[in-house]
């Protein structure tokens, strides 16, 4: 499915509706989560612990718990997580179709990670999903770098691990409050897929091909600002909300 075309069509429909009565154009509102009619399952977490919605087909999702050695601080509607403070969501399940091959099992056709808030050049691990010795994927900002990274790996006992870090080097307006997204789409006819990077609903940088396919298992430990509880992978985040979306 061509998500860029869908976004363009939706934007044109909204513009036409806004301008249908004539007169001056209305002031643009702050972009929210981009409209996506693909039928993705989407779960949102907000700092007050609200997770909504939780579809019946999704198991293991919960409100998350603040963890680490340093208490977070509130800043209006956002939550500030420093290096030793993270959100532990426990183990989550994606319930995706399984195959006999570790290279093709539990593949989402689309996977979206979205962060609304403030990222700095030392943000570290924004999202981290890890099933030890089986698979992982992450949304991160490398140390002192103006770029977003989608990293992923998959493996199996007796099999070589495969994966890579997909980088998008662009002006991501770090240090300001924005909606940051990474969307990975499976190439059903090929060995991998492709990743797109967005800020406030607009693609930033080129589409990046992935050599392999992401795996989202039923036993993934989800952290924000840490990796499996390891806070050395975190830095500083100011969180307004987090979203994870996926489709089988």
Residue 161, domain CATH: 2.60.120
The pLDDT value given to residue 63: 52
Is the pLDDT reported for residue 98 higher than 90?
Answer: yes
Q: Examine residue 10 and state whether it is found in any structural domain, yes or no.
A: no
What mean pLDDT comes out for the span 200-214? 94
Stretch (H or E) spanning 90: strand 85-92
The pLDDT value given to residue 59: 39
Q: Examine residue 73 and state whether it is found in any structural domain, yes or no.
A: yes
Q: What does the block give as tokens for 230?
A: 């390891």
Residue 79 belongs to domain spanning: 38-247
Q: Strand, helix or coil at 11?
A: helix
Phi/psi-derived region of residue 205, left when phi > 0, alpha when psi is between -120 and 50, beta in every other case:
left
Q: Examine residue 28 and state whether it is found in any structural domain, yes or no.
A: no
> What confidence category does residue 11 fall into, taking pLDDT thresholds of 50, 70 and 90?
very low
What mean pLDDT comes out for the span 123-132? 90
Stretch (H or E) spanning 3: helix 3-19
Residue in this structure with the two tokens 């987090």, named with its chain if needed: 242
The pLDDT value given to residue 49: 58
The pLDDT value given to residue 69: 59
The pLDDT value given to residue 32: 38
Q: Examine residue 57 and state whether it is found in any structural domain, yes or no.
A: yes
Contact between 193 and 207 (Cβ < 8 Å): no
- Alpha-helical segments (H) within the chain: 3-19
Q: How many domains does the chain have?
A: 1
Is the pLDDT reported for residue 47 higher than 90?
Answer: no
């Amino acid at each position: 499915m061509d998500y860029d075309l869908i976004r363009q069509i939706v934007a044109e429909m909204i513009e036409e509706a806004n301008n249908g009565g004539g007169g001056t154009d209305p002031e643009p509102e702050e972009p929210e989560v981009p409209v996506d009619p693909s039928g993705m399952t989407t779960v949102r977490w907000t700092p007050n612990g609200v997770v909504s919605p939780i579809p019946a087909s999704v198991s293991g999702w919960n409100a998350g718990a603040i963890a680490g050695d340093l208490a977070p601080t509130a800043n209006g509607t956002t939550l500030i997580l420093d290096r030793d403070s993270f959100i532990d969501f426990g183990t989550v399940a994606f319930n995706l179709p399984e195959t006999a091959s570790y290279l093709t099992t539990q593949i989402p056709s689309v996977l979206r990670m979205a962060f609304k808030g403030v990222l700095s050049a030392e943000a570290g691990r924004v999202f981290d999903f890890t099933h030890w010795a089986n698979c992982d994927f992450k949304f991160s900002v490398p140390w002192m770098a103006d770029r977003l990274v989608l990293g992923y790996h998959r493996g199996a006992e007796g099999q070589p691990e495969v994966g890579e870090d997909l980088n998008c080097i662009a002006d991501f307006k770090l240090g300001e409050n924005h909606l940051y997204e990474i969307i990975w789409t499976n190439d059903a006819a090929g060995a991998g897929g492709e990743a797109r990077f967005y800020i406030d609903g607009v693609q930033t940088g080129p589409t990046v091909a992935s050599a392999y396919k992401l795996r989202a298992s039923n036993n993934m430990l989800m952290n924000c600002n840490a990796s499996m509880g390891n806070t050395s992978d975190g830095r500083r985040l100011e969180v307004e909300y987090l979203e994870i979306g996926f489709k089988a």
